[in-house]
Amino acid sequence: MISRRTGLLLSLMASCAFSQAANARCEDYVPQAKPQNASRDRVGQDLDTIQERGFITFAAYEDFPPWSFEEGGKARGVDIEIGRIIAQDLGVEARFNLVAPGEDLQTDLRNWIWKGHIVGGRVANVMLHVPYDSNFACRVEQVVFNGQYHVEEIAIAYREDAYPEDPPVPAYFRFDTVAVENDSIADFYLSSFPGGQLGHNVRRFPSMTDAMQALAEAETMAAMGPLAQLEADLQDGLAVHTPPLPGFAVGSWTAGVAVHFAYRPLAYAVDDAIYAAIQDGRIEAIFADYGLTYRPPELR
């Protein structure tokens, strides 16, 4: 199965490639038939219902540190704290459902926002950590994409004893070993490097945490992946940087939220809560608590 991280980002890459060929955003896109849901229960709830009942439900990815994960039986992570900010602003309790990733972003949005999973069926009010791309957004009419709160980017972690002077760039991996999460966007990029020059030095691991552990144990000289995931697992003797990545169509992207298209007032309220938390520094403080670099999106 394609990993969640590849699925999300390959969707973005495809939409970016399309937008370069088209004359206008989504110019040739034919609107979809309006979705038919089995019942209101599977569609979700509007803002008034959420406030009347006193809680809001969030879908967040499982086993995805530092963004969302379980620790001591409780949901933790940057995305979880952002969900709590949203709930506090709406005056309700935050409830989290840590979900398994599907094959791609469209599958996840169908399962957790506008239709419901084939097993269980219930959707969440808000899905966290959804990559935003304008061309992709206009092709998924059942979802409102907003609440952008962070710009993620691909980075390289490395052993300081292996690179005492110049931090590594992708061309170094013609000779040096580099760890990646299997089937991730970094794996895809390095494997596609012109001429296949790097493939024999790429070491693949089940997760980014495993890749960083291999780096710490000197099994590789470097590791490549999303900056926050690298920073979350930095140990003594390791460093990280964000070099230019030639030919990388999606070296950075914006993370936000997704809400069912039928509940615009809810989407606006969530967007306002995130915007206020960016302005007053609460979201930046969350990143600082987890030891991560924060890159805010352009404020409206």
Give the pTM: 0.86
| Of the listed ranges 17-21, 23-27, 138-142, 238-242, the one predicted with least confidence | 17-21
What is the predicted pLDDT for the residue at 299? 62
How many percent of the chain have pLDDT more than 70?
83
What is the predicted pLDDT for the residue at 110? 87
pLDDT in tens, 39-51: 444 467 899 999 9
What does the alpha-carbon distance between residue 67 and residue 147 come to, in Å, rounded to a whole number? 16
Q: What is the mean pLDDT of residues 74-82?
A: 97
Whether the CB-CB separation of 62 and 70 falls below 8 Å is answered with yes
Confidence of residue 21 (pLDDT cuts 50, 70, 90): very low
pLDDT in tens, 133-168: 777 777 788 899 999 999 999 999 999 999 999 999
What is the predicted pLDDT for the residue at 31? 60
What does the alpha-carbon distance between residue 26 and residue 175 come to, in Å, rounded to a whole number? 42
| Of the listed ranges 11-20, 86-95, 237-246, the one predicted with least confidence | 11-20
- DSSP type of residue 179: E
The residues, any chain, with a CB within 8 Å of residue 265's CB and separated by 6 or more, are: 46, 47
pLDDT in tens, 274-296: 999 999 999 999 999 999 999 99
pLDDT in tens, 194-250: 777 888 899 999 999 999 999 999 999 999 999 999 999 999 999 999 999 888 877
Residue 6 has pLDDT above 90, yes or no: no
Burial class (CB within 10 angstroms; exposed 0-12, middle 13-18, buried 19+) of 57? buried
**Six-digit token pair at 92?**
């309700």
pLDDT in tens, 102-136: 778 888 898 889 887 655 567 899 999 999 877 77
**Six-digit token pair at 69?**
């994960």
- DSSP type of residue 112: I
H or E element that contains 99 = strand 93-99
DSSP character string of 35-88? P--S-HHHH---HHHHHHHTEEEEEEESSBTTTBEEETTEEESHHHHHHHHHHH
Confidence of residue 19 (pLDDT cuts 50, 70, 90): very low
**Six-digit token pair at 127?**
């899905």
pLDDT in tens, 255-276: 999 999 999 999 999 999 999 9
DSSP character string of 264-300? HHHHHHHHHHHHHHHHTTHHHHHHHHTT----PPPP-
- DSSP type of residue 161: T
What does the alpha-carbon distance between residue 61 and residue 59 come to, in Å, rounded to a whole number? 7
What does the alpha-carbon distance between residue 51 and residue 298 come to, in Å, rounded to a whole number? 30
What is the predicted pLDDT for the residue at 103? 79
Confidence of residue 192 (pLDDT cuts 50, 70, 90): confident
CB count in 10 Å sphere of residue 227: 21
What does the alpha-carbon distance between residue 190 and residue 173 come to, in Å, rounded to a whole number? 9
User: What is the gyration radius of the CA atoms in the chain, in angstroms?
Assistant: 20
Residue 30 has pLDDT above 70, yes or no: no
CA dihedral 37, 86, 12, 254 (to 10 degrees): 170
Averaged pLDDT of the chain:
86
**Six-digit token pair at 40?**
């209101």
Where b means 16+ CB within 10 Å and e means fewer, 204-223 reads ebebbbbbbbbbbeeebbbb
Of 199, 200, 208, 259, which Cα lies nearest the Cα of 232? 208
What is the predicted pLDDT for the residue at 116? 73
